[in-house]
Amino acid sequence: MTVSLPLVVVLGFFAWGAVKFLGVRVWIVVLIALFGFWLSDTFLAPAIESGTRSGVDVINGSHD
């Protein structure tokens, strides 16, 4: 069975769990999210996307 969830939903669950159970402050979660959006607009974006896709392929077991 394959379940397809957007990455934003998965990261949202992790952020909620970190705030609820680990005591991480909400402003830190917001700061990390804003840094991620800023980072996606830099020259590192293609490398991040390539690494993310490779990691997902390894976890899913699909090879091109």
Residue 53 lies in a domain: no
Q: What is the pLDDT of residue 22?
A: 94
**Residue 62 pLDDT exceeds 80:** no
Question: What pLDDT, in 10s, does the model give residues 3-50?
Answer: 777 878 888 899 999 999 999 999 999 998 899 888 888 998 898 889
Among all chains, which residue has been given the structure tokens 């990691």? 55
Residue 26 lies in a domain: yes
Residue 50 lies in a domain: no
Number of domains composing the chain: 1
Let me know: does 45 contact 39? Beta carbons within 8 Å. yes
Residue range(s) defining the domain that contains residue 28: 18-43
Packing angle, helices 26-39 and 7-21, rounded to 10: 150
Residue 37 lies in a domain: yes
Residue 29 lies in a domain: yes
Whether this prediction's pTM lies above 0.75 is answered by: no
